[in-house]
Structure 1
Amino acid sequence: MTKLLALSGSLRAVSMNKTVLEACIKLAPAEVDITLYNGLAGLPPFNPDLDGDNPPKKIVTLRKQIGAADGLVISCPEYAHGIPGSFKNMLDWLVSCVEFPEKPVLLINTSPQSERIIPLLMEVLMTMSARVVSNASLTLPLKGRKLDADGIARNAEFGGQLRDSLASFVDAINAV
């Protein structure tokens, strides 16, 4: 069983980034288990002074989930041509942890207008020693569409692209 952790970079209650990750859960092959991380809003601001032997409990929990995952699926919006502060805060907490380096990552962008987010995330993630699987990453034109997770999964174009992307990602994980 391949275990993936899905991370949304949006704090919005109704977010296309979260919705596309929920669609991934529906489209995952039987041998793939995807868990959606829901703790982003509750993470404390990054402070290196707190990142010693006893980091905050929410950080310990996040790191354990990262460590237990075979790979990460990330869908993150672009805010003001950058990574949203809350998501960057989470990444900052992961910089020095032993669970993150060499972790395979699949990036999903839900808006073609957000052309900077994938390169920005790749720069940060590669600096953190993640293994971004760029041939599996994709951009879907979902912005402005009234689709829920079921609608995305059932859509021939979007569901098919997500299914193919997940398959390529899992293949890349298992090839190592």
Structure 2
Amino acid sequence: MAKIKIVGVSGSLRQQSFNTALLRNVAGLLPADAELLIYRELAELPLFNPDIDALEATPAVAHWRAALRAADAVIFSTPEYAHGVPGALKNALDWVVGSGELVDKPMLLFSASSSPTGGDKASAHLAGTLQVMTGAIIEGGELCVGSVGKKIDANGRLHDEATITLIQAMLLALLEQIKTNRAAELSMS
């Protein structure tokens, strides 16, 4: 069976982002038959404009769409800005509403914040957007990591055992969904 490919998307453009660090930690929790590639080019996407998209996708947009198409699943990890997702992440999602790369794509949603609620409003906002786009957020696939600065050290290592255990369970469910989807695709061909 081909290696499982998961794209990790951090909603933060910060160099020292806790959400990007969380995704790096997730990569280390995956089994050998799966890999997580962190998409780092959100800042390269132009502001969404349907007129531009109607002509021809820019290279940055084409790259974004290709990365999502090639993935078996997507893991989003976002901070909360003004009770919502950062503009760069919302913009990236706008570029794939009509092209459909996230339709039925299995996904997990993380929100990490210094607040005790872990960015719950951003998580709810992101979940709502992805549901409209018919993304397949797996059951139990949302996690808000509150007080994240106490759970990730200065080297970006997640050391909170309770959070690690939750993420491992979510990854197991995600990988099972991917395998189920692959088996269904094989039986249809």
What's the TM-score, normalizing by structure 2? Answer: 0.86
Counterpart residue identity of residue 103, structure 1: K
Query: Structure 1 residue 124 and structure 2 residue 124: aligned?
Result: no
- Within 1, Cα distance between the matches of 2:149 and 2:179? 35
Answer whether contact 1:17 1:75 (CA < 8 A) is retained: yes
Answer whether contact 2:74 2:107 (CA < 8 A) is retained: yes
Answer whether contact 1:106 1:134 (CA < 8 A) is retained: no
- Within 2, Cα distance between the matches of 1:113 and 1:150? 17
Query: Structure 1 residue 35 and structure 2 residue 40: aligned?
Result: no
Name the counterpart of 2:187: none
Name the counterpart of 1:72: 74
Residue 141 of structure 1 and its aligned partner are, at CA, apart by: 2.9
Query: Structure 1 residue 136 and structure 2 residue 121: aligned?
Result: no
Answer whether contact 2:4 2:35 (CA < 8 A) is retained: yes
Counterpart residue identity of residue 176, structure 2: D
- Within 2, Cα distance between the matches of 1:74 and 1:100? 12
The CA RMSD measured in Å over matched residues stands at 1.7
Name the counterpart of 1:160: 165
Percent identity between matched residues is 31
Which stretch of structure 1 is more off in the superposition, 12-21 or 93-102? 93-102
Residue 53 of structure 1 and its aligned partner are, at CA, apart by: 4.9
Find 1:8's aligned residue among 10, 23, 26: 10
Q: Which runs of 5+ in 1 are unaligned?
A: none
- Within 2, Cα distance between the matches of 1:8 and 1:149? 18
Name the counterpart of 1:151: 157
Which stretch of structure 1 is more off in the superposition, 31-40 or 47-56? 47-56
Residue 38 of structure 1 and its aligned partner are, at CA, apart by: 0.4
Name the counterpart of 2:83: 81
Counterpart residue identity of residue 96, structure 2: L
Name the counterpart of 2:54: 52
Answer whether contact 2:108 2:141 (CA < 8 A) is retained: yes
Which stretch of structure 1 is more off in the superposition, 67-76 or 162-171? 162-171
- Within 1, Cα distance between the matches of 2:32 and 2:147? 25
- Within 2, Cα distance between the matches of 1:69 and 1:32? 11
Name the counterpart of 2:26: 24
Higher RCO (C-alpha under 8 Å, 6+ residues apart)? 1
Answer whether contact 1:75 1:109 (CA < 8 A) is retained: yes
Q: Which runs of 5+ in 2 are unaligned?
A: 182-189
Which stretch of structure 1 is more off in the superposition, 63-72 or 116-125? 116-125
Counterpart residue identity of residue 30, structure 1: A
Aligned-partner SS, 1:163: helix
Counterpart residue identity of residue 54, structure 2: G
Name the counterpart of 2:64: 62
- Within 2, Cα distance between the matches of 1:142 and 1:149? 16
Answer whether contact 2:118 2:147 (CA < 8 A) is retained: no
Name the counterpart of 2:103: 101
- Within 1, Cα distance between the matches of 2:94 and 2:60? 14
Residue 155 of structure 1 and its aligned partner are, at CA, apart by: 4.1
Which stretch of structure 1 is more off in the superposition, 70-79 or 159-168? 159-168
